[in-house]
Structure 1
């Protein structure tokens, strides 16, 4: 899980500066009042967003904007936090937000784990 979450965080922190035509793009935040499947469809259909991968056996799919300003972690059925979406935005630091439609404890643990990666360093 560390490798996948590090990829998720790394996609935001290693991004190049946005190109001039990317400055007007506004990425959607998950709407917790709408159904999970509807949110997945809306978020992943955004322009300039691409599947960043499914790492190993981790129960998540990672979607990131090509300008590096936003990434979404979308749980798969075998995730303890499923169904859930976590969004990270890179602007003056990394901000982590999201929605839990399923197990709140699983979501809170996943959210805390991603937050903890902000200060993680390899020893």
Structure 2
């Protein structure tokens, strides 16, 4: 029997999941979480840098997704300074870094699809 199917449910941080796929998709699923993780895979970034790299995301959505990723332990948020202007930097945690090989596989898969069926445009 597959490890992810040993029990009927999985519990992580007080949440119950039917399987490990459900758990994984809760942590990284959605339109923007994986994109945020992708942009942090090569190093820490400030909020404004993330906004520039993802112009299609709204400020509210980016803020909410960053908070969720931080809550789930995939990214860290460090605040520098006590008075405005403060500097906030986001980075992958050790848990978040374990997702990098998956990000690279997703990127390569997407690139392959574009090369076969689409085109890169400026």
Per the normalisation by structure 1, the TM-score is 0.28
The structure number with the bigger radius of gyration is 2
Q: Which has the higher helix share?
A: 2
Q: Which has the higher strand share?
A: 1
